Amino acid sequence: MRFLLGVLVGYTLRGKQKLLISVLVTLALTVYVVIPIIALLGLRLDVQRERRSRPAQTRVPALKGLTYEDAERKLHAANLKIRLLATRYDPAIQPGLVIDQTPAPGEEVAVGYSVGITLSRKDYFGPGP
């Protein structure tokens, strides 16, 4: 680029070779302005196409402390599915409530994703005798 600009400035100062100056200016504009603009426009189109091809995303709502039915309704409203992963005894929590969920509340997931929950149960099935 320095060489091209040096030749261009040199011929412009002398005022000779006007055809050569025109060719050099055209070449410089093409190489350093037009081609990068075309490349950036192509990149922009690729990025837009990539974004449109991704599945729609939604945020996972908070489910802890809800009943199974309420959690199911809340997930349905967010276009998500529910999946019972486990049940666990917890004396501090009323039976039938969601204790834990995966993925965590606020995470972005694809629409239709299944959210796993753990429910509290009323009986303790501890280790045998």
Q: What was the pLDDT predicted at 90? A: 82
Torsion 13-15-21-25 (CA) sign: positive
One-letter identity of residue 24 = L
Q: Which domains does the chain have, with CATH numbers?
A: 2-53 (no CATH), 57-121 (3.30.10.20)
Are 87 and 118 within 8 A, CB to CB? yes
Q: What was the pLDDT predicted at 26? A: 84
Give the pLDDT means over successive 10-residue stretches in the chain (129 positions). 72 74 81 91 93 89 95 95 92 90 95 95 64
* 24, 35, 128 from 117: Cα distances, Å: 69, 54, 27
Torsion 3-9-13-19 (CA) sign: positive
Q: What was the pLDDT predicted at 61? A: 96
Q: Collapsing DSSP states into helix, strand and coil, what is residue 80?
A: coil
- Its pTM surpasses 0.85: no
